[in-house]
Amino acid sequence: MQKQTIKITEAALTTTFNFDAIKKFIDYITENLKYPEAETIEGEVVVEYTTDEEGKLIEAHIKQSLSEATDAEALRVIRSYTDWRPRVIHSQPKQSKHTIPLRFKRP
Domain positions in the chain are: 10-104
CA distance 88 to 94: 6
Query: What is the predicted pLDDT for the residue at 107?
Result: 84
Enumerate residues 6+ apart whose C-beta is below 8 A from 80.
32
Q: What is the topology classification, in CATH, of domain 10-104?
A: 3.30.1150
Check whether 77 has a pLDDT greater than 80. yes
Check whether 66 has a pLDDT greater than 70. yes
Check whether 16 has a pLDDT greater than 80. no
Query: What is the predicted pLDDT for the residue at 88?
Result: 84
CB 59, CB 49: distance < 8 Å? yes
Total-model pTM: 0.81
Among the listed residues 8, 21, 11, the one whose alpha carbon sits nearest the alpha carbon of residue 85? 21
CA distance 2 to 10: 26
